[in-house]
Structure 1
Amino acid sequence: MSVSGAPGPAGPVRAAIVGTGNIARYHVEALRALGRQVEVVAGVDVDEERLAAFADRHELPALFTDLGTMLREARPDLVHVCTPPGLHREQALACLRAGATALVEKPPALSLAEMDELAAAEGAEGPWFATVFQHRFGSGARRLQEVMATGVLGRPLVAICHTTWFREQEYFDVPWRGRWDTEGGGPTMGHGIHQIDLLVALLGEWTSVSALARQQARVMDTEDLSLAHVTFASGAVASVVNSVLSPREESYVRIDFEHATVELTHLYGYGDDDWRVTPAPGREEAVVNAWKAGESGVSSGHRAQFAHVVRALGEHRPPPVTSSDSARTMRLVAGIYASAFERRTITPADLAAGSPFHGRMDGSGPRW
C-alpha cells in the first residue's frame, strides 16, 4: 500500500461518532483532548433520546439517526464506530464506501471472512479500516518494544496473558450479548481480545494454538471461559486465559525473556506504574538503564491511540491499528475457538478461506 506524496485533510480531521452508548463518551472526550487537530462534526444513533442527551452533554453540532445521511451531509474524514459488534461490518463498509476512514471498537468484526471483506473495501490511498486496540499505545508497551529492539532483554521465552474479569448473569441477559451471531464470541472475543492484541503486538506471529473453551457458570450461547497454549514463531510459548467468572478481577501480561521478566498488572487500562521489570542476575545495570531510557508518561487510554490515528490521517497514511494488524489478532482468537471445538492443535493455515472457522468463530454453528 503506497500513500507517498498523497495530501492529508485540509485543516483539522473531521470526526463523527456512530453509536452514543457508554463507550462513545470515552471517544468524544479523547478526541476533544487533542485540541485543534480534530473537529467532532456529528453523532449518529437510532435512539433519538439517547442521541439528544449525548449531543447536549458533548455539544455535537449535527445529529443524525441514519448513518448514510450523516456520511452524505457531514462528510467526515474519520468515523468512530461505537455500536454493538454485530453492526460493525455493515457500518464500517458504509463508511469506507463513502470515503471515510472507519475506526471500530473491539471486536473489529465477527469473523475472519468479515475482516477480509473490510480490508478489500479499503483504498490504496485511503479510506482505511482500523481497530481500537489502545493497549498498544501506552508508554509502557511502547517502551517495552523499544527495549526489545535493543536486544538487551534477549529472546522471549515464556509468556502469560490472562484476562480474568467478572460479569454477572444479568450482563449477558442483554439481547445481543453472549451470542455468536451478534457478538462473535464470549470473553475470548469480547473481553480478553485487548490483552491478546497486546501479546501479539509484542511477540509477533503465532504458529500453533491448543485450547479449550467451556460454559462453566453463565447461561448464554458462547463460552464464559477459555484457556490456550500458544506457540510463536520466535519459539516463545504463552498461556492465555479469558474468564468472566473471576471475582478478583485482573488483566495480567508477563513475558520472561532470557535476561529479564517484564510484567503488566492492571484492569481496564494501565499507566507506567503498572509495569514491573525484574532483571536476571548479572543483568541489572543493562536492563534497568535501558528501561529508564524508554518512553514514559502516557497511559493506555483511547487518547493515546487517537493521537496516532489523527496524526496518520493528517499525513495521509494508514492509521493504527491497521486491518492487517487487526486480522492477525483476530486469527489467534479464531484459532483458540477452532482448537477448543475441534479438540486439536490449530495452525494459521487451518483458518484459511474455506475453513468453517474463517466464516464463523464457532465454525459451522453451535457445538456445545
Structure 2
Amino acid sequence: MIDKLKVAIVGAGIGEEHLQKGFAPAADLFAVTTICDVDHARATAMAARHGIDDVVTSFDDLLERGDIDVIDICTPSKLHFAQTIAALEAGKHVICEKPLVSSLREMDALEETAAAARGLLMPIFQYRFGAGVQKARLIIDSGLAGKPYFGSAETFWRREKDYYANSWRGRWSGEMGGVLVTHAIHIHDLFTHLMGPVDCLFGRIATRVNAIEVDDCASACLQMKSGALASLSATLGSQDQISRIRLMFENVTIESGHVPYAPGREPWTFIPRNDEIGDAINAALADFPSRADGFEYQVRGFHAAIADGAALPVTLADARRSIELASAFYHSARLREDVCLPLGKDHPVYDGWVPAWATKSAAE
C-alpha cells in the first residue's frame, strides 16, 4: 500500500469542488497540500478555507517539486492540453477537467505522451459514478433492457451576463466552445456511456441567449451504431434548470433524475415492459451496493489504478469519444450536413472546431 498521494490543485474555481467532493472525502488516500492559481488572493482564500498552507501562482514551479505526486488541472479550457502534457513529461500523475483538448490532433498527441509517461492521466467525468447511472448501466449490460430504440439527452440550464463577466468565458480562445463543450459535455458523455457509440450526427448550434462568441443553444439528431435513434438538445436560456436523459429500450424505459448538476445521481426511474421484466430488474438491483459516488468514487478509482494497477475509472478513450462527438457536432452545424464517425486524420475537423479567426486572434 502506497502512502497518501500529495495533490496540487491548479485553479481555485472548480478545483474547490474537486477538493470538497473528491479529495476531502477520500482523505485516507490523498492529501491536498498545494493550491495554485494565477490570482494569489483567490488561491490564498481557498487554501485558508481548507487549512492548506502552501499557495503558489506559477504552474511551472509545481513541475520541479518532488513533494507533489498528483497535479489536478482545473484551469480554463484553453490551458488543459499544454498543462497536461507538461505535467506528464514532469513525471506527475494528472487529473484534468473537461474538455481535455480542443481537437483530435491534440488528443492523439496527448495519448502518445501519456503512453510514454511514468504517471497516469485521468479525465474527469464524475457524473458516470452516480448510483442512478450505475444502476442503468447494470440493467443494460445484463441484457434485461433488450434492444435500444430511442434516446434523448437534455441540458436546459441558465447562464446570464454575470457568468460571462470572467474574461475567458464566452470566447472561443478561452472556453474553446459554448454549451456543447462547457455544459452539455457531461450529459452527452453519460448518454453515449449508456447507449453506445454514435454512427452519424446532424447538428445545429446557435447563439441566442447571451452576447457571446460561442454557442449557447444546440440540437442534434443521431443514429447510434446499434441502429437506435437519438436527440441531443441544450440551451443556456431555460427559466427552470434541468438535466434529463430518457432511454427507450425493448423491455424498459429508463429516465434520469432532473437535478441540473447531478444527472448521474438517484432517483432514476425504470419503467418495465411487463411485471416479469419488472421483477427481474428489481432482483438485479436488490444487492446494489451503497458506496461513494461522483468525484469521490472517481478519485478513489484513480488511487487504485496508481497503487494496485487497477483499470482507470475514466480513460483517454472515453475523453476521445467526447471530443470526437463535439468535433462532429460543430462540423455538421457549420456545413449543414450529416457527419459520420469515427473521424480520421484526413477529416477537415481533425485539427479542431475552434474557428480559424479565433485561433489567429488568440495568437496575436
Question: Does the CA contact (< 8 Å) of 1:112 and 1:327 recur in 2?
Answer: yes
2:7 to 6, 15, 39: 15
Q: Deviations over 1:141-196 (max 9, x none)?
A: 22222221211111221111110101113323422112222211110110000000
Match status 1:88 vs 2:77: no
Structure 2 partner of 1:28: 19
CA separation of 1:36 and 1:61: change in aligned 2, threshold 3 A: farther
Letter of the aligned partner of 2:262 in structure 1? G
How far apart, CA to CA, are the structure 1 residues paired with 2:93 and 2:310?
11
TM-score (norm 1): 0.90
Q: Does 1:269 align with 2:262?
A: yes
Whether the 8 Å CA contact 1:356–1:363 is kept in 2: the answer is no
- One-letter identity of the residue aligned with 1:179: R
SS at match of 2:64: helix
What displacement does 1:354 show?
A: 4.0
Deviation at 1:363, TM superposition (A): 5.2
Match of 1:253 in 2: 245
SS of structure 2 residue aligned to 1:207: strand
Q: 1:87 to 1:140 in 2, by over 3 A?
A: same
Report 1:69-108 matches (<5 A): 69-108=61-100
Q: CA separation in 2, counterparts of 1:267 and 1:309?
A: 26
* Structure 2 counterpart of 1:202, from 194, 197, 221: 194
The 8 Å contact of residues 272 and 297 in structure 1, kept in 2 or not, is answered as no
Q: Is the 2:34–2:54 Cα contact (8 Å) retained in structure 1? A: yes
Aligned partner of 1:141 in structure 2 is 133
The alignment-based identity, stated in percent, is 29
2:335 is the counterpart of 1:342: yes
Q: Secondary structure at the match of 1:59?
A: coil
- Residue pair 2:331, 2:349 contacting (<8 A) in 1 also: yes
Counterpart for residue 220 of structure 1: 212
The CA deviation at 1:31 is 0.5
Query: Alpha-carbon deviation of 1:295?
Result: 4.0
- Which of 144, 149, 156 aligns to 1:152? It is 144
Q: Structure 2 vs 1, CA of residues 354 and 181 (structure 1 numbering), >3 Å: closer, same or farther?
A: farther
Q: Residue 304 of structure 2: SS of its match in structure 1? A: helix
Amino acid aligned to 2:91: G
Q: Distance in 1 between matches of 2:100 and 2:193?
A: 16
Q: Distance in 2 between matches of 1:128 and 1:361?
A: 27
Inter-CA distance 156–206: structure 2 relative to 1 (3 Å threshold): same
Question: Structure 1: any 5+ residue segments left out of the alignment?
Answer: 1-8
Q: Which residue pairs with 2:315 in the alignment?
A: 322
- TM-score normalised by L of structure 2: 0.91
Counterpart-to-counterpart distance in 2, 1:115 and 1:322: 12
2:62 counterpart of 1:65 = no
My pick for the range that moved more, 319-328 or 61-70, is 61-70
- Any conservation in 1 of the 2:256–2:264 contact (CA below 8 Å)? no
**What is the aligned counterpart of 1:358 among 345, 350, 353?**
350
Aligned-residue RMSD, C-alpha: 2.0
Residue identity in the other structure for 2:85: L
8 Å CA contact 1:143–1:296 kept in 2: the answer is no
Asked whether 1:286 is paired with 2:275, we answer no
Q: For residue 277 of structure 1, give the secondary structure of its aligned residue in structure 2.
A: strand
Distance of aligned partners of 1:24 and 1:72 in 2 relative to their CA distance in 1, 3 Å threshold:
same
Question: 2-side partners of 1:274 and 1:198: how far apart?
Answer: 15
Worse-matched range after superposition: 279-288 or 12-21: 279-288
* Offset, 1:310: 1.7
Matched to 1:337, the amino acid is Y
CA distance in 2, matches of 1:250, 1:152: 28
Query: In the alignment, which of 236, 240, 244 is matched to residue 232 of structure 2?
Result: 240
Match of 2:362? none
- For 2:248 and 2:287, locate their aligned partners in 1 and report how far apart those are by CA, in whole Å: 20
CA separation in 1, counterparts of 2:340 and 2:152? 20
Q: Assess if the C-alpha contact under 8 Å between 1:44 and 1:63 holds in 2.
A: yes
Q: Is residue 152–residue 290 contact of structure 1 (8 Å, CA) maintained in 2? A: no
SS at match of 1:319: coil
Q: How many residues align?
A: 355
Distance change (3 Å), C-alpha of 1:31 and 1:317: same
Counterparts of 1:136 and 1:12, CA distance in 2: 25
Which AA in structure 1 matches 2:321? R
- Contact kept, 8 Å, 1:14 with 1:41, in 2: the verdict is yes
- List alignment gaps of at least 5 residues for structure 2: 359-364
Q: Distance in 1 between matches of 2:322 and 2:287?
A: 29
| Aligned: 1:111 with 2:103 | yes
Q: 1:133 to 1:53 in 2, by over 3 A?
A: same
Question: In structure 1, what is the Cα distance between the partners aligned to 2:338 and 2:9?
Answer: 41
- Asked if 2 retains the 8 angstrom alpha-carbon contact of 1:131 and 1:326, the reply is yes
